[in-house]
Amino acid sequence: MSKLKLEHGISRIRRAKLQSSIDQTIADDIELMAEWSNNETNYVVNELLRFALTQEEDFQKYKASAAADTSRSVIHAKATPAKSASDATPRSEPSPTSMATRT
């Protein structure tokens, strides 16, 4: 099993809002870990989640297969040519001007 390593004092990251409720004992431990590592609580939570996600082998297999499926979909979409606007429009009758030149 690998080991969680928190770097001290580096908590500047881009964030996305994720609302969740956690047990009070876990929240207390996270606060204590943030104090101990001299980081923001958000950084500690992110590192803990990142660590847990990398440890879950079944999830990693699912993530890899989902990425492969997505890339196959993108390749398939690029390989299938889309009809251009001129192909999609129905052929119209000759215009009156072109008919006039024939007579």
Residue 5 inside a domain? The answer is no
Residue range 76-103, pLDDT digits in tens: 666 665 555 555 555 555 555 545 555 4
CA separation for the pair 58, 48 (Å, rounded): 18
pLDDT at 40 over 80: yes
pLDDT at 45 over 70: yes
- What does each C-alpha distance from 11 to 6, 38, 39, 100 come to in angstroms? 10, 9, 6, 77
Residue range 50-62, pLDDT digits in tens: 999 999 999 999 9
Instruction: Tell the burial category of 44 from Cβ atoms under 10 Å away from its Cβ (0-12, 13-18, 19+).
Output: buried
CA separation for the pair 67, 78 (Å, rounded): 17
Residue 46 inside a domain? The answer is yes
CA-based nearest residue to 47, from 30, 67, 69: 30
CA separation for the pair 96, 101 (Å, rounded): 9
Structural domain for 72, as ranges: 21-79
Residue 26 inside a domain? The answer is yes
Residue 57 inside a domain? The answer is yes
